[in-house]
Structure 1
Amino acid sequence: MSLQRQHQMKMMGKRDPQMEQEAIEWIFAIFGEPVPNAEFGDILKDGQVLCRLMNKLSPGSVPKVHTTGGHYKMMENIGNVMAAMKQYGVSNQDSFQTADLYEGKDLLQVCNTIHALGRATYQHPEWKGPYLGPRPAEENKREFTDEQLASTKTVIGLQAGSNKGATQAGDTTGAQRRVIVGK
């Protein structure tokens, strides 16, 4: 078995069918269409579904969607989607490469990118849903007065070693150590 095939088999083992199903259901819920009965990668392979998705989330973000043409046109769809996702708020770390989808090299990363896109929708108040995944954490910056900060200097935290005088001196859990001295 070739090294590339071994790598592909390893990546296939890491895929999460439930996450893939959630991603596909979210996409088609946005379209208001039934979910096709096909494999995750096959539904998304040519980039057309993702182009439609980005144009629903951010109208006009993918101005040209190729529906016919060779491999390069379909890979161009995916490249256009990736640019639109980046502009929408999906980070480079969460993005997949064109070959990950078109050649099926890393469908786990494709799924993770769609989930990252679902999280990014929370950052767009104009989007009214549906949403995918949990709401990302938001900054909750707190300001403390000098009095509040000074009052903490008299408190001994548990990390400082105070545990109401408890020690391990009388601990007899487990087998006790015995030293046997030879005669």
Structure 2
Amino acid sequence: MAEYRAAKAGINADAQARINSKYRDDVAQETLEWIKVLTGEPDNTSGDVDNLYNVLKDGTLLCKLVNAIQDGSVKKINQSNLAFKCMENINSFLEAAKKLGVPPQETFQTIDLWEKQNLFSVVICLQSLGRKAGNYGKPSIGPKEAEKNVREFTEEQLKAGQNVISLQYGTNKDQQTGISFGNTRHM
């Protein structure tokens, strides 16, 4: 676990500091409060980094969360504190979250949580899952999911659009005068 790792130094320490600076206690607290509404756990919903890590590190609460959103998402939740069993729980959560609609770019790697590498990405994943929970009739958090906005155009409107010249092609109006290719520069 993270307690037994050597401290990062040099450019790695700078990179880790940049990752850690993105973490926001208020967003993490909102996320933990949402988890408590769905699962009844944890007792402490403080958003500080250490509390979030201690609450989620074994993955059991994460598995209970996806099962609260859609029953049976994770078939077996390991209760053991052995490292590989805890990481298996986290991985089961991530697979279930993807099936519930969380985009892969908004998930995290197991090691981000297990070794306390990037708790910001853990919160991002949980916020994304919180948006998707509304699709399953559960309370949601974060910004509302966008709704489809299909637009229908008539054949006449489509043909009229073909005659419009985009401003990306430029224009020949208001050109500077006095510029001529081939002239030499006088000093």
Q: Same fold per TM (> 0.5)? A: yes
2:35–2:41 contact (8 Å) kept in structure 1: no
Q: Work out whether 1:10 is the aligned partner of 2:18.
A: yes
Distance change (3 Å), C-alpha of 1:33 and 1:75: closer
Tell me the amino acid that sits aligned with residue 144 of structure 2. Answer: R
Report matched runs for 1:151-166 at 5 Å: none
* Secondary structure at 1:60 match in 2: coil
Distance change (3 Å), C-alpha of 1:73 and 1:136: same
Distance change (3 Å), C-alpha of 1:137 and 1:50: same
Partner of residue 156, structure 2: 147
Report matched runs for 1:92-103 at 5 Å: 92-103=104-115
Report matched runs for 1:163-174 at 5 Å: none
- The match for 1:120 among 132, 139, 148 is 132
Partner of residue 39, structure 2: 31
Partner of residue 141, structure 2: 132
* Secondary structure at 1:131 match in 2: coil
Q: What runs of 5+ residues in structure 1 fail to find an aligned partner?
A: 160-183
Output the CA distance in 1 between the equivalents of 2:123 and 2:39. 18
2:132–2:140 contact (8 Å) kept in structure 1: no
State the TM-score, normalizing by the size of structure 1.
0.74
Q: Work out whether 1:81 is the aligned partner of 2:93.
A: yes
- The match for 2:58 among 46, 49, 53 is 46
Tell me the amino acid that sits aligned with residue 148 of structure 2. Answer: E
Distance change (3 Å), C-alpha of 1:21 and 1:143: same
* Secondary structure at 1:141 match in 2: coil
Q: Work out whether 1:61 is the aligned partner of 2:73.
A: yes
Output the CA distance in 2 between the equivalents of 1:157 and 1:8. 45
* Secondary structure at 1:140 match in 2: coil
Distance change (3 Å), C-alpha of 1:5 and 1:150: closer
How many angstroms does 1:59 deviate by?
Answer: 0.6
State the TM-score, normalizing by the size of structure 2.
0.73
How many angstroms does 1:42 deviate by?
Answer: 1.4
Q: Work out whether 1:110 is the aligned partner of 2:122.
A: yes
1:14–1:108 contact (8 Å) kept in structure 2: yes
RMSD over aligned CA atoms reads 2.7
How many angstroms does 1:31 deviate by?
Answer: 2.0
1:24–1:35 contact (8 Å) kept in structure 2: no
Which contiguous aligned blocks of 4+ residues in structure 1 show a shift greater than 3 angstroms? 3-7, 32-35, 147-159
- Percent identity over the alignment? 38
How many angstroms does 1:6 deviate by?
Answer: 3.9
